[in-house]
Structure 1
């Protein structure tokens, strides 16, 4: 064995059995995504007990999402520079400690600060789990299976939020929505210390502080501006100001990375790999598709069909199970078929499923108008999400695994944040046009139907972008 191969093997962060590493990565991802949605059901109880104002309450959710998406690029780069195990355990510790602070909070400011810290912990965790998969599972079929399991765990985490949050808030207290993370985090820290070797990439590099500041601040400002569109018009200074400032900072970030940074936070050479460039473009579009499926379908069930939050979560459970099964199947097929066939098949499901779902109205039945199309859409998500993640993180140097993982996660999160704002605005505008000529439920249904048609359009856009991938492209 050559010295190069020996060094490469030593650099891989593996010290325990692969099943333990896979369980660590999947459980960490499940917990991170779960906490983006589990709080929603508990918000009324939180407001009553802590005395939140109507404008302050959304920041229990937004504080987490903003720092999660905004700091992920930095978290990915830090994982490459300081070691995947170190960043994974540090992220778990910060996530668990801030969960404890949130669960014990006695004032609104304390809970929001805890959620901001939670988001930072999540931004350290998510790219580190992808980096661990990239470096520990190097054989093609094993890597594809690992991505399938990782993607499925995140999808289940997103779907389980309403059910788990509703059960905990009703049976125990809203505080357990946060406190449950503490024992789970402690176990995961122990598993990480046992299963991952404490190696580094071997490169003696420093963190690109200028890039870190401009990139992180740019993303955070852009996402903050987009979030403000939920309460203000798109022409409001509260929306345009932060969004434009964020875009300018991202332009500065790009110039710094291309011209001035000797050790850039995001080496632009990574985008010469077509899978990284095209894969991240597709993940941006996919974020809006996922929001349309899980978030707006839940709203349709509650606001149009009259389901409770818990009933809506249970109503989406068949789709979540379908997603898990299909994601594992896609992982098995990916080494043989490559990326493009699976993406095109998934996009066909999006077009058919969202087109069907867009026909639902206030008098629709669950089985014929919601269950059928959401199962079809879940097949599409199961085929595309792990495939896109595999495409966006493949064929990069091992020392860039955390950076590329952070980039892929950021693309998906930013796509979801922008998609949520745009689709919410479209739904509200369409519903307002129907008010007066129909019942409130029918007006809302018209707004959601427009969202589903727009999601079908995003599916078509993903299919078109996928044609930029080489025909032989594998995950």
Structure 2
């Protein structure tokens, strides 16, 4: 269990480290563990976006209808976001390494099946399995990462590299998807996972020790059912609303059902003898406000990619591949932010790093409202997305350190499960919201007329995250 002094040093405003802080030196084994876990997390991040550019080609090759193409993305997002919290807790109870390796095996097999698919139904089944594997591997891998490194500089460095590679994987997925589709086939967007998963499966058992409690409590099935059902309904409702409009009755019904199930989950957890998520954890300021900041950081940055894709393709006339390459600059910014985030945390403290990163992201995003119809504006886009990527990654690493600090090792799977759920719901949430703003603001007119207001809404949400973090993450953790 983390001492109060350690938790306070992570969350207060005091710059610098205590003179008594241990030297931040990784052992050779820790470096190898880090490489293996980061390779898995990077592969999962790439999967979120690698098929976006290839969707039209997949549709022509397998006979998807125009409306059915969205389900290639939605099938993955539903299972990835809906089951993350459940699998994070299962990893706590039955062994994180076991869940991590099982998920990787499922990911490898489902990727092979997806690459060989000859019908839409088989491809969608493979995408559901990929999402379930992601829901298992991501929280289990993060829990293995946080328990392999003690709280402080080592964990911050590991989380910084993890965050950088995950964000870079998301933004570079479009580039890789475009290259593989143009040079080889869309099927290689699936096949590329197989050798990576196989390599990690061969190496990980020799490096990573099993991690599970000595006494295994019962799994909270009512809690698992309500939270999984609530998240599935919420993600489906958000996706359907983004596709068919926010006046669509089935989408609104799904959103309402999701909210009701999540409220029911709260009451189930209050009365459960072995809750899936103890209410005392949900009441921690670090968990509540840290995850809110993380939700908005992920939702705004990934939806900004959507907005800039519209701008580059529909306003400036760039190809899909050229658009993907332009986002390589954003990926470079996130890598830089992830590498320097631990040093910034060491100097400024976690709260100041989180708030400062959000303010940098908000300023860079707001600058994009100046974009015009001439290709000369590309320079502003590249600079602003690079700077915003740095700020976003500072905020994300600050969020991850905040949301996983001050909890015992046996609850790290829970903490990382909640944080991963926040990440995946944020990625799913942002684009439908921004799409609705663009549609409403454009009003059937020019695309640029809708992108500008959506950029301002995006920046305002980042400022909201900065304000709540500054206000409610003061002082030691609750």
Using the size of structure 1 for normalisation, the TM-score is 0.92
Q: Alignment length, in residue pairs?
A: 452
Question: Which residue is 2:115 aligned to?
Answer: 103
* Residue among 430, 443, 466 paired with 1:463: 466
What's the CA shift for 1:15? 12
* Residue among 190, 197, 203 paired with 2:202: 190
CA distance in 2, matches of 1:380, 1:170: 32
CA distance in 2, matches of 1:188, 1:340: 34
CA distance in 2, matches of 1:317, 1:468: 34
Q: Which runs of 4+ in 1 moved over 3 A?
A: 468-474
Question: Which residue is 2:447 aligned to?
Answer: 444
What's the CA shift for 1:141? 0.5
What's the CA shift for 1:232? 2.2
Asked whether the 8 Å contact 1:74–1:216 carries over to 2, the reply is yes
Question: Which residue is 2:12 aligned to?
Answer: none
Per-residue displacement from partner, 1:442-468 (whole Å, max 9, x unpaired)? x11121111211111011101111123
CA distance in 1, matches of 2:248, 2:71: 20
* Residue among 376, 384, 387 paired with 2:395: 384
CA RMSD of aligned residues (A): 1.8
Per-residue displacement from partner, 1:387-443 (whole Å, max 9, x unpaired)? 11111111111111111101011112222322221111011111125x2xxxxxxx1
Asked whether the 8 Å contact 1:292–1:451 carries over to 2, the reply is no
Question: Which residue is 1:408 aligned to?
Answer: 419
CA distance in 1, matches of 2:350, 2:28: 30
Give unpaired runs (5+ residues) of structure 1. Answer: 1-13, 436-442
Give unpaired runs (5+ residues) of structure 2. Answer: 1-25
Q: Secondary structure at the match of 2:305?
A: helix
Question: Which residue is 1:258 aligned to?
Answer: 270
Question: Which residue is 2:19 aligned to?
Answer: none
Asked whether the 8 Å contact 1:293–1:377 carries over to 2, the reply is no
Equivalent runs, 1:209-248 vs 2, <5 Å = 209-248=221-260
CA distance in 1, matches of 2:253, 2:378: 45
* Residue among 453, 457, 463 paired with 2:456: 453
Per-residue displacement from partner, 1:152-198 (whole Å, max 9, x unpaired)? 11011101111111111111111111011111101111222111113
Q: Secondary structure at the match of 2:68?
A: coil
* Residue among 42, 54, 74 paired with 1:30: 42
Asked whether the 8 Å contact 1:50–1:106 carries over to 2, the reply is yes
Question: Which residue is 1:274 aligned to?
Answer: 285
CA distance in 1, matches of 2:378, 2:431: 26
CA distance in 1, matches of 2:98, 2:217: 16
Question: Which residue is 1:350 aligned to?
Answer: 361
Using the size of structure 2 for normalisation, the TM-score is 0.91
Question: Which residue is 1:64 aligned to?
Answer: 76
Question: Which residue is 1:119 aligned to?
Answer: 131
Distance change >3 Å, CA 371–CA 390, structure 1 → 2: same
CA distance in 1, matches of 2:357, 2:375: 26
Equivalent runs, 1:245-324 vs 2, <5 Å = 245-259=257-271, 261-324=272-335
* Residue among 414, 417, 429 paired with 2:428: 417
CA distance in 2, matches of 1:246, 1:471: 32
What's the CA shift for 1:470? 4.5
